[in-house]
Structure 1
Amino acid sequence: MTQRTRTEENKGPQLTRNVAPGIHRLAHAFVNCYLVEEGDDVTIVDAALPATWPVLLRALEAIGKRPAQVAALVLTHAHFDHLGFARRIQTEWNVPVWGHASEAYIARHPYRYAHEAPRSLYPLRHPKGIPVLGAMTAAGAWRVPGVEDLNYFAPGTVLDVPGRPSVVFSPGHTFGHCALHFPQRDALLSGDALVTLDPYTGGSGAQIVSKAATADSMQALASLDSLEATGASIVLPGHGGVWRQGIASATRQARAAGVS
C-alpha cells in the first residue's frame, strides 16, 4: 500500500489488509490501530478513538474473526487517541490490556500527560492540522474513559500474545512509549515514536510528533536509534500511511525534520 494523502485519509474508516503479512491497518479519523493475526487469534495494537468501536467490529468481520478471538490489546502508549475503546474491550470482551508500567497513570487519566508546548497555539500556527484535529474530535477524542489494571510488559521481551512481538522501548513521546517489532513479518509498529502524519501540524513524512503532544522531544529523537536497530523494512505508524522504504530511511528523514 502506498502512503495516502491527508484528503484520502479523511474519506472515512479504511481497513487495509496485509500491510505486512497477517497485519491489517484500521485507519479512522487520522488514527491507526492494527489487527495482528496468528492462527485463529488476534492481537489489537492501540485502541484509536471511541467512535472506532463499531468500525472495529466491521473490521474483525471482514477478516473472518469474532470478538471472542481477540486475545489481547497492546498499547504502544496511553494517550487518549490510542486508548479510545480500551476500557470497552476490557470490560465487554474481557480482553487483557497490555502496556509499559510508566503508561499506567496516563491510562487512568488520559488527559493528564506531559507535553512541551501549549496545544492551543498549534491550530493558529499550523492550520493544516485543523481538519485532522477536527476529525479526531468528532470521533470522540475528548470523551475517552480511563483504563485500570494494565498488564505490564518489559522492554526487550517478547510478548506472549498472538504475533509475539518484541517490545522496543522508545520513550520521548511518552516516558513509557514502546514500539512493537514483528521480525518474522519484517514489520515495526512504531506507534507515535515515529509517524508519517503529525496531527498537530498536519505535516506529512517521517517525523516525531510535535511538542504539543510529546513529553521530551530530544529523548524522542534519541529513541529513533532503537527503532532503527530493528532493521525493519515496513514501518506501521500510529498516524499516517505505511512507510515501505525501511526504518533507516524513516529515521533519517525524521532526524532531518527535527522538532516542531
Structure 2
Amino acid sequence: SLAGETTAGQIAEFLDHGTSGGESFADFMKRCAAGTDGTCRPTPAVLCGRQLAAFAYAGIEEQLASSPDLVLAFEEASREAFLGRQMGAFQTDTNTRLEWLKSSDFPAIVTSAVKNHTENLLESWAANVLEVHLGVLAGQFDDAGLAVLSQPAFGPSGAAARKTLLLEMSQSWRGAADALSLAAARWNQLFQDEATRATKASFVNRRMFDLYLVAGLLSDFNRASGASFASGSFASGFSQLM
C-alpha cells in the first residue's frame, strides 16, 4: 500500500527539487494542510492496508514468521495515514501564532478591530489545528489501533515497531494536549460573557476527560512495552490544563 507516492516522499521531493512553478515551502505546506488535489493525503490503498494489517495481526494466536512484518506494516501505514494532517496543523499553528504576535502591536485605538481579528484567527486555528490534533489522536486509537496494541509484540523487530508506534501516539497526545491548553488560555483571555465562557469550559472539560482516558491507555501500553519514558510528558501536559 506504500509502494506509490507517500506524504513523506512528497515532502522530501519538494525539499530536494522544489516545484516547477517555484512554489515556496510555506505555500506547499498550505496545500499539504488543505489536502489540495490529494497532496499529503493517504490513498485508499493505505487506509485499507492499515486495517488489513491490524486485524490480521489481531487474529494471530501465536508467533509466526510474519508477525513482526504485520506490526511494521501497520506502523508505517498509520504514519502515512496521519502525517499530512499533522504536518499541516503544525504549519498552520506556526503561521497563526505569528499573526497573533503581529496583532499585539496594533495601537489601542483599534482595539475593537483587533479583537474581531483575533476571534477570527482563533476560530480558524481551532478548526485547523486543535481539531486536527484531537482528530488524529482519536484516529490512532480507532478499532484498528486498539486491535494491534491489545496484542503482545512478537520478536525483537515486532517489539521495536510497537515502541515506535507508541512513541508516535504519545507525541500525538502531547500535540493535542498542548493545543487544548493554548485554546483554553486564549478563550479565557478573549471571552468575558458568561454564556461563551461556559460553552468553552464545557468543551475543554470534555476533551480533558478524553485525553485522560487516552493517557491511561498509553501509560499501560508503554509500560508493557518497556517504553515508560514515553509517558513522561503526560503529567506536565495535564498541569498546563489545570
TM over 0.5: no
Bigger share in helix: 2
Bigger share in strand: 1
**So what's the TM-score if we normalise by structure 1?**
0.27
Considering only CA atoms, is the larger Rg found in Structure 1 or Structure 2? 2
